Amino acid sequence: MVRVEALEKAYPGRKGEPPVKAVNNISFSVGEGSLVGLLGPNGAGKTTTVKMLCGLVKPDSGRIFINGKELTKRRIPALAEVSAVLEGNRNVYWRLTARENLEFFAALKGLNPAALRSEIDYYLEFFQLVEKSDVEARKLSRGMQQKLAIAAALIANSKVVLLDEPTLGLDVQASYEIRQLLKKIVEEQGRTVILTTHDMNVVQDTCERVIIINQGKIVADDSVHNLLDLFRMKVYKIVIQGELNAEQRQALGAMEEVVIEEESPQRTVISVRLEGSQILYDVIGILGSYNSVLESIDQEQNNFERVFLEILKGGVESA
């Protein structure tokens, strides 16, 4: 549904500075009916990528295909297949009511007025905005404004929906609600949704697949499940009573896979990244030979944040 080949974009640098390579040779494709997260720290190039996909920024080079239509060749047919909600909620008109906003966006997309009413009612209902139909957008909460902006993008019925930081600045409740609604819309309507975020938690519970970008380049492109698995097997956390002695500290400190995460007179927490299980026995040997009392050994919590940080450090080879 979306295919991007060797996309590049540089912005002119500030006075005397070299240009900023915001997107540096990015390629990926996304199949119909999937929900893919574009994840990366601030400045990674996510917004620039999305803006190129919806025709707001022209790439320096590379090609973009939307539903088989090449955006980089003929804009209009390709852009008819995409709608986008960019960062922030400037996508709704503050003086129009919720319903009027949807009417406006539907009209912009040339929707048939007869089909309009039921369509608008459907989205007001879907996004739990029925009671707010006649309230001006500026009077809605940020979460509601964001839902309205997403509804406005969906009403166009385009196959591809791009959402740039859809939960940014929302409270926990609103953020959670929007994630659930996005999953539902993909399941029920088979839309193709690409969302950007710098919050790994958003990706972890929304997307099947994640493309991680850093400094304009893709550093991982895999299912969230696989990326989690890769690490689940590798990190063990060992807790012992009390402190380490100097010999233990030195021996463990010399091991690349070992991190002494916490040390106090009460307890010491050590994490071990496993390449092979031998290292775990070595570590336990070092602890045991000085009669340290083992409190627990656990596989680390399945935590996407850690995966994300490891990938950004270049600590994992991934497909």
Ligand X SMILES: Nc1ncnc2c1ncn2[C@@H]1O[C@H](COP(=O)(O)OP(=O)(O)O)[C@@H](O)[C@H]1O
Q: Pick the binder of Mg ion from 4, 39, 47, 163 (CB under 5 A).
A: 47
Instruction: Return the biggest CA–CA distance within the chain.
Output: 81
Per CB under 5 A, the segment of 44-52, 110-118, 229-237, 301-309 that binds Mg ion is: 44-52
83 binds, among ligand X, Mg ion, none (CB under 5 to 8 A by kind): none
45 binds, among Mg ion, ligand X, none (CB under 5 to 8 A by kind): ligand X
Per CB under 5 A, the segment of 41-49, 116-124, 210-218, 240-248 that binds Mg ion is: 41-49
Contact positions with ligand X (CB under 6 A) in 37-76:
40, 42-48
219 binds, among Mg ion, ligand X, none (CB under 5 to 8 A by kind): none
For residue 20, state whether it binds ligand X (rule: CB under 6 A): yes
43 binds, among Mg ion, ligand X, none (CB under 5 to 8 A by kind): ligand X
- Residue 95 C-alpha from the chain's centroid: 31
Secondary structure in 3-state letters for 67-82: CCEECCCCHHHHHCCE
Contact positions with Mg ion (CB under 5 A) in 209-268:
none
Alpha-carbon distance of 311 to 244, in angstroms, equals 30
Q: Which is nearer to ligand X, 37 or 40 (CB)?
A: 40
* β-strand pairing of 209-214 with 61-66: unpaired
Q: Which is nearer to Mg ion, 46 or 306 (CB)?
A: 46
Amino acid at the residue 112: N
In the complex, least distance from residue 73 CB atom to ligand X, rounded to whole angstroms? 23
**What number of chain residues touch ligand X (CB under 6 A)?**
11
Secondary structure in 3-state letters for 152-180: HHHCCCCCEEEEECCCCCCCHHHHHHHHH
Beta-strand (E) ranges in the chain? Answer: 2-11, 20-30, 35-39, 61-66, 69-70, 82-85, 160-164, 192-197, 209-214, 217-223, 235-241, 258-263, 267-273, 294-299
Interface with ligand X (CB under 6 A): 11, 20, 22, 40, 42-48
